[in-house]
A and B are shown apart, each in its own frame.
Chain A
Amino acid sequence: MAALLEVKGLKAFYGQTQSLYDVGFDIETGGITTLLGANGAGKTTTLRAICNMVRREGLVRFDGKDIKNLPTEEVVRLRIAHVPEGRGTFTTLTVDENLRIAAYTRKDKQAVNRELERVFAYFPRLKERIQQQAGTLSGGEQQMLAIARALMLGPRLMLLDEPSFGLAPLIVVEIFRILRRINEEEKVSILLVEQNAALALDLADHAYVLETGRVVMSGPSTVVKNDENIRKSYLGY
């Protein structure tokens, strides 16, 4: 079976500085893949490069189609939903508006309302706060809002950038449980970037380890998890 997302020889640059040298991986349809690595290894940059938010070179193919030259907003319209670092909340908009914005190109209002209900089934807490200004939500709620908004795009692939960042452990467990459900029930493939390797390896079925802009290791999560060498040298636990 062909991979849903195929990345080969990916390089990325911030101005004159090169931050990715040779990143390559495949994401299978329906799978959960995680990118691990220390600070500055290039995990976030890899996600940004897929969505064309940084200058990049190399091959990025989604569903067999080369998407290297598409601007960010067109990449998203292929139903690749990016939940960015820092959650990207529209702080002055309401929770309702934060969700509806992801469906603004759709004409069918009824379908959008149905979609909202479907999303609220995963995040009942957001429904309670529907008219609240999103900037007043707690960190965990904003992370839920970001994932819910990504769901509103009806994604085939979800890119998640450190969903556990800055959250209380209990909230993190709840969010990861919801991610697993989304993957199973909505058939959404997931590419997860995480600092918390233990957590990510539990959720993912495949893992790639990045170091200074290169993939240095990859394999099924169970293998990576149980390989003491990898754990000690790259994952630090």
Chain B
Amino acid sequence: MEQFLQQIASGLANGAIYACVALALVMIYVSTDHINFAQGEMAMFSTYISWQLMSWGVSFWIAFILAVLLSFVMGVVIERVILRPLHNAPVLSIVVVFIGLLAIFNSVAGAIWSYLIKEYPSPFPKSSFGIAGVIGPHQLGVVLVTLIVLGLLFAFFRYTPLGLAMRAAAQNPQMARLVGVRVDWMLALGWGLAAAVGAVAGIMVAHIVYLDPNMMAGILLYAFAGALVGGIGNPGGAVLGGFIVGVLENMVAFAGNQLEKATGVYIIGNGEKLTVALIIVIFVLTVRPAGIFGRVVVKRV
């Protein structure tokens, strides 16, 4: 039983990370219809920035905040400088740009900080934090921090005029212009926020997966799966999808272990959990192509 709870808890911690990255993907998707394949590498780069700041003696939370702010600026600049000229470009050109960005961030990080795997600290106190035997201090901290960030974002989009303008611009850009919304800037702002949320995910997960230029590759895949399961056009759904995928992968491993204990035959375990989780994701999408919380949008042609 305790093991079961442990698995759920660590699944939630991983899921929190996937949820953040999934939300970043969805934020860009809803306003542009594109999936930013470089989202993970941008988050990795942000994490290196925070590591660099810490190695210069800045304390963890200051480095965290600075890195998130810098990521926001980085996101805005990438949209304004690189993607602005491509607004009317065909989809494949934009995909190529995203893949290019992915490769650039990866190799620039490697060139600056090397490909050696680095340890990354946890800011959460070892004692007095977490619940003994169920959830460790870092895992609990990750869940709390991401929930706070997601809550802030939700409040921003739901209750502020600027958040409303961003939602309007994503939903109907032409009409948004007609009520005076500067749609181009809303897009750039969306990129900035996505990069910032990605940075939070990167910084939170680095203590678990260690810091290296390829740290986000698997996470991006899980996050993408989470976003699809939840419904790619639905931010709330994507967040839930992220958590679902996180818990699901651990449940797969847990079930495999129990099965092995009971029967003595090894069928699935930690090594296969990614595969099995993705099989389940594919199955869900076959049954509900728009995702669990997604809606099928019928377009008139």
Contacts and interface: CB of A to CB of B under 8 A. Distances in A.
B171 A93 contact: yes
Nearest to B233: A92
B162 A104 contact: yes
Interface stretch (A70-78, A171-179, A221-229): A70-78
B171 A72 contact: no
Interface stretch (A19-27, A95-103, A162-170): A95-103
B177 interface: yes
Contacts of B175: 84, 88-90
B87 interface: no
Contacts of A105: 161, 180
A82 interface: yes
B165 interface: yes
Task: State which size class the interface on B falls in.
Answer: 10 to 19
A71 B182 CA distance: 10
B165 A90 contact: no
Contacts of A153: 179-180
B178 A51 contact: yes
Interface in A61-79: 71-73, 76-77
A203 B171 CA distance: 34
A90 B171 CA distance: 7
B178 A100 contact: no
Interface residues of A, number: 25
Contacts of A82: 178
Contact of A104 (B165, B171, B174): B165
Contact of A53 (B168, B174, B176, B180): B174
B66 interface: no
A149 interface: yes
Interface of B: 161-162, 164-165, 167-168, 171-172, 174-183
Interface of A: 51, 53, 71-73, 76-77, 81-82, 84, 88-93, 97, 100-102, 104-105, 149, 152-153
29 contacts: A53-B177, A71-B177, A73-B177, A73-B180, A76-B177, A76-B178, A77-B180, A84-B174, A88-B172, A88-B175, A90-B167, A90-B171, A90-B175, A91-B171, A93-B164, A93-B171, A97-B167, A100-B161, A101-B164, A101-B165, A101-B176, A101-B179, A102-B179, A104-B161, A104-B164, A104-B165, A104-B179, A152-B179, A153-B179
Given A73-B181, A76-B180, A84-B175, 8 more contacts: A76-B177, A84-B178, A90-B172, A90-B175, A97-B168, A101-B164, A104-B180, A105-B180
